[in-house]
Chains A and B, each alone.
Chain A
Amino acid sequence: MLKISLQYNWDNFHADYRVNISSGVTTLLGASGEGKSTLLHLLGGFLDGHGVLDFNSESLLALAPYERPISTLFQSDNLFPQLTVWQNVAIGISPSLSLNTEQKDKVSWALEKTQLVDKADRFPQALSGGQAQRVAIARVLVRNKPILLLDEPFSALDPSLREEMLYLVREVTEELSLTTLLVSHLPQEASLVGGNVLLIEQGKVVAHEPVSVLNQIPAHPLFVDYFGKSSQSL
C-alpha cells in the first residue's frame, strides 16, 4: 500500500496530493499541466515535497532517489547512449557494472523476456523507439523494485506498438506484484492496462475509481469535465 499525502508549491502551482494506492496498475489521467508528472517526480525524489509518503508503513520521504524502492520509466532519456543494451540493463543491478554469474543470468533473463537478446551488444542509437523502451523495461525487471513509475513512456510510439508495451507493463506488474503508476493522456491506455484510474486536476486527486468507470455512459460525474476537455482539444 502506497500512502500519499504530499504538498508541493512552485510559483502559482500549489499541489496537494492525498491518495492511497494499492498494488497493481493505477493510471493517472488528467489534462496537461494539471500536475501528473509532478506527482511522479515527487515520488521519485526528484522534487522535494513535504507531508507523508509511506510504502508498506515505511516512510520514503527522507530517502534519496537511489534509496527509494522505485524504478522509473521516463518519456525519454531512459538509456545511456554511451552504453550497450546489455550494459544499460546491467547497470540496474550494479552501477559499477561488475556482475557475478547469477546477476549476469538475470540480465540475460530480462533481455529474453523483452525479446532483446539479439540486440545485447547494440548501442541505443541503433534501436527503434519501441526497442529502446523495452530495454528500459528490462532494467526495471532486473532492478526488481516494488514500485514502478511510468511517465508517458510510450507516447512517442505508434498505436499498435504502444498497445504491445502496455500489455508488457501489465504482465510485469502482475508477475512481480508491483505497485505501478502510469501517467497517460489517453483514457484508452487505462482501459488496456486495467486496474484503477486517478484523475488529477490542479495538483489534486479528484477521483480514484476502478478503470471500468471510464466506460460508463453517460460519463461518471467526476470525469465529465475531463472528457469534455479532451474531446474539445482533439
Chain B
Amino acid sequence: MFSLRLYQGLTPAILGVGLFLIMGAASLAALLRYSELSNWLGYLSQPYLWRVIRFSLWQALLSSGISILIAIPVASCLVHRRFFGRSFLLQLFSVSMVVPTIVAILGLVVVYGRTGWLSQLFGFQIPLYGLTGILLAHVFFNMPLAVRFLLQGYDLIPSGQWRQSSQLGFSRLSAFRLIEWHYVKKALPGAFVLIFMLCFSSFAVVLSLGGGPKSSTLEVAIYQALRFDFDLGKASFLALMQVAICTLFALFVYRIAPVNRQDVSLLSTERYILKDSFGAKASDLAAMLCVFLLVFPPFIAIFDPVFSATFFDTLLSSSLWKSVMVSLQIALPAAAVSLLLGICFGILARFCVGRKYLSFLPNKIEHLGNMILMVPGLVIATGLFLLLRDFGWGLQSSYWIVVWVNAVMALPFVLRALMPVLYQQERRFRNVYLSLGVRGWSRWCLEWTLIRQSVAQAFGYALLLSLGDMGVIALFGSQGLVSLPLYLFQLIGSYRLEEGACVAVVLITLCLVLFYLSSRLIGGQKNVKN
C-alpha cells in the first residue's frame, strides 16, 4: 500500500534526523581535515599514549567490575526483602544517573578529602586523588545503575518460578543459583558494556580526581590536547582511538554474551516468600551496609555546610546567579532541541514498524541515536567549532555549540523515555488512525494525553543532563560563559569547598524544581511522578 501522502507527513521528521546526521558528519569531517594523517604513526609510538590507554582501560574495567559485584547482592536483597527505606533507596538509585557529576565529586571530596569527614572522625585518610578517588566516584555513580539493570532482569522472571520455588522450599542461595542467575546473567553484558563505556569516557571525575598525568583517560587527554595545546591532529587521533576501543569492546562482550531465552508468563509479578536463613540475612546486611557506606555519605555531605555563614555570603554573590542564568540559557534550549530530535527519531522509527520493506529500520534508527554514547562530546564540539569557524563564526558560536552538543548527548536518554510509548501507540491504533484518516497534527492532538507523561520524562532527563553537564562547557567555558557545574568545578579546584557546597545545593535545587515543573507542566497535573 504505497501512498505519497503517507510519506509527505514524514518530511519534518526526516529533516530533523537528517540535520542530526549532517551536523555529526560535518563536524567529524572538519576535525579530520585539520589533522595530519602522517602524524598519527608518531602518536602511536609515544609511551604517553599507551599509558593513557592502559589507565583508561584499567580504571574502566575495575570500576565496572566493582560496581557490578556490589550490585548483584544488592539487587537480590531489594527483590526479596521489604524494609524501611527500600522505596526511598530505589528512588535514590533511579536519580543517581542524573545527579550532576560535579556535585557528587564535591560530596566525595567533603567525605574523603584531606580535611574531610573521614580524616576528622577516624584520623586516617585515603589517597583520594588518583585511582582510588576515580573508583570511588565511578562506583558511586554506576553501582545504582547496575542495580537498576539487574532489577530489570529480575522483572523478566515469571512469577510462576517464584511460586514454585516457594513451595519447593528453595533457600536464597538455591534460588539465586537456579533461578536468579539465569536472568541476571542476561542483564550483565548490557550493564557491563554501558558502565564500562561511561567509565572509559569519564571526563569530569578524572579531571577533578585524577590528580595528575599519571591517571588520565583518553577523554581528559583529548581535552588537554584541545584546550592547552590546541593540537587538532592529536585530538582527532585520540578521539578515533576512543571510538575504536569502545566499539571493539562492545562487539566482544556481546559476542560472548549468553543467548537470550525468552520465557512467556501470563502471571503478573507478586511476591513469594522464600526460606530465610542466617547466611541470607548476613549477606543482605553486608550488601545494604555497603550501599549505605558508599552512596549516602557524599549525598549528606553536600548539605553539611548549609548552616555556615559562608553559605549565605555565597548565596548573595553575583557570580553565582550569573552562572544560574547561563545554566538555564543552556539547559532549556538544549532540552527542547533534544526533545525535538527525539520526536523526529521516534516518528520515523514508528512509521517503519511493521511495514514490509522498512521493518528492519526502527532498531537501526534507535542505534543511530544511541551511537552518540560512543563518540566523545568534546570531539563533536571541536569539530563543530571548526566547521562554524569556516563559515566565519568565531568564538561567539561557542554558546550554540554547547547547546547543540548537550542536546545530542541527551538524545539516547530521550529516546529511551519516548520510544516504548510511541511504538505502543502505533501498534495499537495504526489501523484506526489509517481508516479514519487522522494524520499529522491532529494525530498528535489525539495522542497527547496518552504520551505527555513520557514526553515530560524525556524533557526532564534532557534538562537535568544539560544542567549538570561538565564536558563541553569545560572546553568552551570562558569569562562570559560559566555554567553552574563549571563554577563549582573551579571552586573545588581552589579548595573553596564551603562555597562549592552552596553552589551544589543551588544546582540540585534548580534540578529538582525544573524537573518538577517539567513533569507538572508537560506531564499534566495528575501524572506528576516523584
Q: List 26 A-B contacts (CB under 8 A).
A: A44-B167, A46-B166, A46-B270, A64-B275, A65-B166, A65-B272, A65-B273, A66-B168, A66-B274, A70-B167, A72-B163, A76-B160, A76-B266, A77-B158, A77-B161, A77-B164, A77-B265, A78-B164, A92-B168, A95-B170, A95-B178, A96-B173, A96-B177, A97-B178, A125-B261, A143-B168
Instruction: For the A-B complex with A66-B169, A82-B179 known, give 10 more contacts whose Cβ atoms are closer than 8 Å.
Output: A46-B272, A65-B167, A77-B158, A77-B163, A78-B164, A81-B263, A82-B178, A91-B178, A92-B168, A95-B168
A66–B164 alpha-carbon span in the complex (Å): 9
Q: A80-B179, A81-B261, A91-B178 given as contacts; is B169 within 8 A of A67 (CB)?
A: yes
B51 at the interface (CB under 8 A from A): no
Main secondary structure of the interface of A (DSSP, over half): loop
In the bound complex, do residue A77 and residue B267 qualify as a contact, i.e. CB atoms below 8 Å apart? Answer: yes
Nearest Cβ on chain A to B459's Cβ, whole angstroms: 37
A143–B175 alpha-carbon span in the complex (Å): 18
What B residues does A125 contact at CB under 8 A?
A: 261
Residue of B nearest to A125 (CB): B261
What A residues does B169 contact at CB under 8 A?
A: 66-67, 95
In the bound complex, do residue B182 and residue A66 qualify as a contact, i.e. CB atoms below 8 Å apart? Answer: no
In the bound complex, do residue B163 and residue A46 qualify as a contact, i.e. CB atoms below 8 Å apart? Answer: yes
Annotate B244-281 by CB proximity to A: 1 below 8 A, 0 otherwise: 00000000000000000101011100101111000000
Nearest Cβ on chain A to B394's Cβ, whole angstroms: 61
Annotate A60-76 by CB proximity to B: 1 below 8 A, 0 otherwise: 00001111101110101
B171 at the interface (CB under 8 A from A): yes
A166–B204 alpha-carbon span in the complex (Å): 67
What B residues does A64 contact at CB under 8 A?
A: 166, 273, 275
B454 at the interface (CB under 8 A from A): no
Give the interface of A toward B (CB within 8 A).
44-46, 64-68, 70-72, 74, 76-78, 80-83, 91-92, 95-97, 125, 143
B519 at the interface (CB under 8 A from A): no
B165 at the interface (CB under 8 A from A): yes
A46–B162 alpha-carbon span in the complex (Å): 11
Nearest Cβ on chain B to A89's Cβ, whole angstroms: 11
What A residues does B175 contact at CB under 8 A?
A: 95
A150–B409 alpha-carbon span in the complex (Å): 54
In the bound complex, do residue B168 and residue A91 qualify as a contact, i.e. CB atoms below 8 Å apart? Answer: yes
In the bound complex, do residue A95 and residue B167 qualify as a contact, i.e. CB atoms below 8 Å apart? Answer: no
B174 at the interface (CB under 8 A from A): yes
In the bound complex, do residue A72 and residue B182 qualify as a contact, i.e. CB atoms below 8 Å apart? Answer: no
Residue of B nearest to A94 (CB): B174
Q: A65-B273, A76-B265 given as contacts; is B168 within 8 A of A82 (CB)?
A: no
What A residues does B267 contact at CB under 8 A?
A: 76-77
Q: A81-B261, A83-B178 given as contacts; is B160 within 8 A of A74 (CB)?
A: yes
In the bound complex, do residue A96 and residue B171 qualify as a contact, i.e. CB atoms below 8 Å apart? Answer: yes
Please count how many residues in chain B sit with their CB below 8 Å of the partner chain's CB atoms: 30
Top 8 closest pairs, chain A to chain B, by CB? A77-B160, A66-B169, A82-B182, A95-B174, A95-B170, A65-B166, A96-B174, A65-B167
Residue of A nearest to B270 (CB): A46
In the bound complex, do residue B178 and residue A66 qualify as a contact, i.e. CB atoms below 8 Å apart? Answer: no
Nearest Cβ on chain A to B412's Cβ, whole angstroms: 31
What A residues does B158 contact at CB under 8 A?
A: 77
Nearest Cβ on chain B to A7's Cβ, whole angstroms: 20
A155–B409 alpha-carbon span in the complex (Å): 52
Annotate B37-71 by CB proximity to A: 1 below 8 A, 0 otherwise: 00000000000000000000000000000000000
A71–B173 alpha-carbon span in the complex (Å): 22
User: Per a CB cutoff under 8 Å, which of B159, B161, B273 touches A80?
Assistant: B161
Q: A46-B166, A67-B169, A95-B169 given as contacts; is B275 within 8 A of A80 (CB)?
A: no
What B residues does A45 contact at CB under 8 A?
A: 166-167
What A residues does B182 contact at CB under 8 A?
A: 82
Q: A65-B273, A66-B275, A82-B178 given as contacts; is B170 within 8 A of A74 (CB)?
A: no
Nearest Cβ on chain A to B460's Cβ, whole angstroms: 35
Nearest Cβ on chain A to B443's Cβ, whole angstroms: 37
A71–B263 alpha-carbon span in the complex (Å): 23
A131–B263 alpha-carbon span in the complex (Å): 17
A163–B450 alpha-carbon span in the complex (Å): 48
A74–B267 alpha-carbon span in the complex (Å): 11
A44–B174 alpha-carbon span in the complex (Å): 21
A46–B163 alpha-carbon span in the complex (Å): 8
A92–B266 alpha-carbon span in the complex (Å): 24
Question: By CB atoms of chain A within 10 A, which of B160, B168, B171, B175 has the most?
Answer: B168
What A residues does B179 contact at CB under 8 A?
A: 80, 82
Residue of B nearest to A76 (CB): B160
What A residues does B174 contact at CB under 8 A?
A: 95-97
What A residues does B165 contact at CB under 8 A?
A: 95
Residue of B nearest to A67 (CB): B169
Residue of A nearest to B177 (CB): A96
Residue of B nearest to A78 (CB): B164
What A residues does B161 contact at CB under 8 A?
A: 77, 80
In the bound complex, do residue B163 and residue A74 qualify as a contact, i.e. CB atoms below 8 Å apart? Answer: yes
What B residues does A44 contact at CB under 8 A?
A: 167
What B residues does A82 contact at CB under 8 A?
A: 178-179, 182, 261
A213–B528 alpha-carbon span in the complex (Å): 58
What A residues does B160 contact at CB under 8 A?
A: 74, 76-78
